[in-house]
Chain A
């Protein structure tokens, strides 16, 4: 009995001590503008870095970066492939494989290529590779061709200079070129048939892929002859695919991982007392959005009044506060945090009240509306879905949540045209320009959402106008009108930005971590990471 008593007292002590201390999020201060952490340049190079991330590259689209359509694919492929320009801290466009560029006119870009860049097979990269890669991207089936914009022609001026001419001004052009699908590929080898990018990764990047088993493991090795001196610092990067959030957190605690990408918004608190572990919440321009299937036969959301009612019921502030623990922020289609983004509190849906939502439902004969919300199980999506459910209960709408693994979810949402789901939850990368993501509101071009979204000429015009608006006082106005148009359309309803928590062992790795990210790429500066103590 004495032993039982001791155990009970100990359990009560643990519970009591925890109860006495409310769970409070630790504050994080950037170490430099736009950076949460900077790799220690004094640390010696070398070593093996062990990473854990929740999901692998999209198996269906293979390893061709131009076909990569999910952010995690861009992240992993960015270790091998590089782009003409890159995103720096604070969403600055910085030189990549192009050392500089000029814009002689609003529709013309001239890129000057970096000297000494080679592919992993040793062949120097030249302008023909850049031209061929862009032409292949624009002619191919990849969704990123839409983001690159209205390109009229791509031509090599000489071996080290490339000129791109656009049909019309397109402000996000450079930000679109900065993503992995716009990477420079070894076009000579691809044309000769000696390299198939769907199965072989041959890029100019700091690492080469040594081993890959889908949904299990990647092993990347340092590439000798990389153009940047002293980079990459690590000899190898081993990336384990670990879907379970708790396992990734435990891996940091028991030192079986040096670095992990975490989705649990409470991870900073959960890891706060673990010696040597740092957990940094990274703000992103990615955002969760609610898809209301407009195309389902006999669908519940074909009536715009029903979609508007659902949109009005969304309490973005509560979703951000509860489901993302305040790490996310409410947003319209122009991601919060980007220059010129619209104010989500000023959206038509945000300024209407719940009585208006109920009135619209009554008008549409949908007072007894119930539907199934299909969500994936990666955190914090289930939490977002549950807060949406509570939001809609306020106007009498009943929601059943169907939680699926990522693969099953993608099949249910994108697998059929017309799609048969009622509603679904997902997130878009928000990129580095406030207007870019709105391209996906043109389903006739995006295609991946044609199964559940009907094209709208007015909305398409609003998107094109905003994307063509040059930097200046006219752009915020165009973006505000775009936000309002998307809000009224309500086929895809932007909700809150998606936070990411970067966890690492400070005694094992010194990483560079951006304070803000727009392409889901936590490993953006992986070539700078220093492995410590081994």
Chain B
């Protein structure tokens, strides 16, 4: 945990907010705080009060468990998708950067094809093929975040592959697989970690966008995007339907972004040692 001590205060605040959100999601999902998120428990569109702290929605469901469940769904979907992205991008980027040549070109041109699609258009295309739901959301986030991470890992691996210690290892008889695992991978891990936080915030926004368009999680499941989509139309009549999930979405993306910035500073020694 020594790396945490090296983070600046803003990054620590981001980490704390992120931890709070994860805690809230766990409280809603595992401890049942606020009750069942899909149960009709009160009057329609009741404003926040003592009984319904965040108000009720258009079906008389308490917004508190729905927002908590929405945080969980959004963070989980994004995190799983980013884990898949990190794995795929690291493999592709390592191979492309280390081997270079036609292998690198094929990988790069492949991600260029994905790059050619605007984010939300690509996500809608995936949803149209797979059908709306969690699978489509996961696949969309992966396809949207893979290109950039693959390119960055490729560049980092390319740089590392030209370093003397790699050449020495090869001359001393080490296999390519060993060199990749022992020398190249650890040196690109920082890039993957930093880019992972960026991908996480992109994933949250893609999930939100897909659900906003009706291609994300299906009712009565809750996600931040789905809640914003359902609440958007009630902005003036029942703003609590939009305000709570909207605020949480903004907080989550901001927290992840500032934490990612701090992580980058921490993991890039040259920057952290530069004269200020």
Q: Which residues of A contact B (CB under 8 A)?
A: 11, 14-15, 18-23, 245-246, 249, 264, 266, 269-270, 272-273, 318, 322-323, 325, 377, 382-383, 385-387, 389-390, 401-404
15 residue pairs of the A-B complex, CB under 8 angstroms, read A14-B239, A19-B47, A19-B48, A19-B55, A22-B46, A249-B233, A266-B45, A266-B237, A270-B236, A323-B59, A383-B58, A389-B220, A390-B38, A402-B218, A403-B132
Chain B residues within an 8 Å CB radius of A402: 218
Chain A residues within an 8 Å CB radius of B214: 377, 403
Cα of A272 to Cα of B49 in the assembled complex, Å: 24
Q: Contact: A390 with B233, CB < 8 Å?
A: no
User: Contacts A382-B219, A386-B219, A386-B220; is A18 near B44 (CB within 8 Å)?
Assistant: no
A37: min CB distance to chain B, Å: 23
B211: min CB distance to chain A, Å: 12
Cα of A329 to Cα of B120 in the assembled complex, Å: 40
B4: min CB distance to chain A, Å: 27
Q: Contact: A390 with B132, CB < 8 Å?
A: no
Q: Contact: B243 with A401, CB < 8 Å?
A: no
B219: min CB distance to chain A, Å: 5
User: Contacts A266-B58, A383-B59, A401-B218; is A389 near B234 (CB within 8 Å)?
Assistant: no
Interface set, chain B 37-86, CB cutoff 8 A to A = 38-40, 44-49, 55, 58-60
Q: How many A-B residue pairs have CB under 8 A?
A: 74
Chain B residues within an 8 Å CB radius of A382: 219
Cα of A342 to Cα of B48 in the assembled complex, Å: 40
Which listed residue, A11, A23, A323, touches B238 by the CB 8 Å rule? A23
Q: Kindly name the residue among A249, A273, A403 whose own CB sees the greatest number of chain B CB atoms within 10 A.
A: A403
Q: Which residues of B contact A (CB under 8 A)?
A: 38-40, 44-49, 55, 58-60, 132, 214, 218-220, 232-234, 236-240, 243
Give the secondary structure class of A's interface.
helix
Cα of A21 to Cα of B237 in the assembled complex, Å: 9
Q: Contact: B219 with A23, CB < 8 Å?
A: no
Q: Contact: B47 with A18, CB < 8 Å?
A: yes
6 nearest CB pairs, A to B:
A19-B47, A23-B45, A246-B233, A18-B239, A386-B220, A270-B237
Query: Quick one: closest B residue to A390, CB to CB?
Result: B40
Query: Quick one: closest A residue to B221, CB to CB?
Result: A401
Chain A residues within an 8 Å CB radius of B243: 11, 15
Cα of A21 to Cα of B240 in the assembled complex, Å: 12
User: Contacts A11-B243, A266-B45, A403-B132; is A386 near B236 (CB within 8 Å)?
Assistant: no
Chain A residues within an 8 Å CB radius of B219: 382, 385-386, 401, 403
Cα of A198 to Cα of B71 in the assembled complex, Å: 51
Cα of A153 to Cα of B60 in the assembled complex, Å: 55
User: Contacts A11-B243, A18-B240, A383-B58; is A264 near B38 (CB within 8 Å)?
Assistant: no
A397: min CB distance to chain B, Å: 14
User: Contacts A15-B239, A269-B237, A322-B44; is A386 near B59 (CB within 8 Å)?
Assistant: yes
Chain B residues within an 8 Å CB radius of A22: 45-47
Chain B residues within an 8 Å CB radius of A246: 232-233
Query: Quick one: closest A residue to B58, CB to CB?
Result: A266
Chain A residues within an 8 Å CB radius of B132: 403-404
Which listed residue, B38, B55, B60, B234, touches A322 by the CB 8 Å rule? B60
Q: Contact: A19 with B218, CB < 8 Å?
A: no
A400: min CB distance to chain B, Å: 8
Cα of A403 to Cα of B233 in the assembled complex, Å: 19
Chain B residues within an 8 Å CB radius of A270: 233-234, 236-237
Which listed residue, A14, A266, A386, touches B234 by the CB 8 Å rule? A266
Besides A23-B45, A387-B40, A390-B40, 7 more A-B contacts (Cβ < 8 Å) are A19-B49, A23-B44, A249-B233, A318-B40, A385-B219, A402-B218, A403-B132
Q: Contact: B240 with A19, CB < 8 Å?
A: yes
Query: Quick one: closest B residue to A323, CB to CB?
Result: B59
B253: min CB distance to chain A, Å: 17
A289: min CB distance to chain B, Å: 19
Chain A residues within an 8 Å CB radius of B234: 266, 270
Q: Kindly name the residue among A23, A270, A272 whose own CB sees the greatest number of chain B CB atoms within 10 A.
A: A23
B236: min CB distance to chain A, Å: 7
Cα of A402 to Cα of B219 in the assembled complex, Å: 8
Chain B residues within an 8 Å CB radius of A323: 59
A199: min CB distance to chain B, Å: 29
Cα of A15 to Cα of B63 in the assembled complex, Å: 15
Chain B residues within an 8 Å CB radius of A11: 243
Chain B residues within an 8 Å CB radius of A383: 58-59
Cα of A507 to Cα of B29 in the assembled complex, Å: 50
User: Contacts A323-B59, A383-B58, A385-B219; is A273 near B38 (CB within 8 Å)?
Assistant: no
Cα of A383 to Cα of B44 in the assembled complex, Å: 12
Cα of A387 to Cα of B41 in the assembled complex, Å: 12
Cα of A11 to Cα of B242 in the assembled complex, Å: 12
Cα of A389 to Cα of B61 in the assembled complex, Å: 13
Chain B residues within an 8 Å CB radius of A401: 218-220
A405: min CB distance to chain B, Å: 8
Cα of A43 to Cα of B59 in the assembled complex, Å: 42
Q: Contact: B59 with A322, CB < 8 Å?
A: yes
Q: Kindly name the residue among A18, A318, A377 whose own CB sees the greatest number of chain B CB atoms within 10 A.
A: A18
Which listed residue, A18, A20, A264, A377, touches B233 by the CB 8 Å rule? A264
Chain A residues within an 8 Å CB radius of B240: 15, 18-19
Chain B residues within an 8 Å CB radius of A245: 233
Q: Contact: A273 with B238, CB < 8 Å?
A: no
Cα of A389 to Cα of B218 in the assembled complex, Å: 13
Chain B residues within an 8 Å CB radius of A272: 237
B23: min CB distance to chain A, Å: 24
Cα of A269 to Cα of B218 in the assembled complex, Å: 26
Query: Quick one: closest B residue to A386, CB to CB?
Result: B220
Cα of A116 to Cα of B206 in the assembled complex, Å: 61
Query: Quick one: closest A residue to B213, CB to CB?
Result: A244
Cα of A385 to Cα of B220 in the assembled complex, Å: 9
Which listed residue, A23, A318, A385, A390, touches B39 by the CB 8 Å rule? A390
Cα of A21 to Cα of B60 in the assembled complex, Å: 17
Query: Quick one: closest B residue to A267, CB to CB?
Result: B233
Cα of A318 to Cα of B45 in the assembled complex, Å: 15
Cα of A258 to Cα of B111 in the assembled complex, Å: 46
Cα of A402 to Cα of B233 in the assembled complex, Å: 22
A512: min CB distance to chain B, Å: 28
Chain A residues within an 8 Å CB radius of B238: 18, 23
Chain A residues within an 8 Å CB radius of B60: 322
A380: min CB distance to chain B, Å: 9
A410: min CB distance to chain B, Å: 15
Cα of A385 to Cα of B234 in the assembled complex, Å: 20
A390: min CB distance to chain B, Å: 5
User: Contacts A18-B236, A246-B233, A377-B214; is A386 near B38 (CB within 8 Å)?
Assistant: yes
Chain A residues within an 8 Å CB radius of B237: 18, 23, 266, 269-270, 272
Query: Quick one: closest B residue to A400, CB to CB?
Result: B218
Cα of A269 to Cα of B45 in the assembled complex, Å: 11
Cα of A272 to Cα of B220 in the assembled complex, Å: 28
B63: min CB distance to chain A, Å: 12
Chain B residues within an 8 Å CB radius of A325: 44, 58
Cα of A506 to Cα of B232 in the assembled complex, Å: 25
A495: min CB distance to chain B, Å: 15
User: Contacts A323-B59, A402-B218; is A389 near B44 (CB within 8 Å)?
Assistant: no
Chain B residues within an 8 Å CB radius of A264: 233
